[in-house]
Copies of this chain bind each other. A is one copy, B any other.
Amino acid sequence: MNKSIFYHAGCPVCVSAEQDIVSLIGEQNVEIVNIGEDKARISEAENAGVQSVPALVTPNGNALHINFGASISDVKG
């Protein structure tokens, strides 16, 4: 199985969701990307359908938005 990618922006909701996701699917199965720090990857997240963070993009390409921390436009600003 390919890895999932978890996009976040360091917000408290994101950190809490990250811990849950890593615990559920296993650290080795998910890449964690902080688009607040790594802004070069914002467009990659947008292309994957991510509209807000935290979000998990599954190996088959679905974007699962988890709770709500920040919109992509907030992270860009």
Contact = CB atoms under 8 A, between A and B. Distances in A.
Contact of A66 (B4, B16, B60, B66): B66
B24 A62 contact: no
Contacts of A24: 4, 24-25, 29, 56, 58
Tallying the copies of this chain within the complex gives 2
A64 B62 contact: no
B67 A16 contact: no
Given A24-B24, A25-B24, A17 B66 contact: no
A5 to B, nearest CB: 12
14 contacts: A4-B24, A16-B62, A20-B58, A20-B62, A20-B64, A21-B64, A24-B25, A25-B25, A64-B66, A64-B67, A65-B66, A65-B67, A65-B68, A66-B66
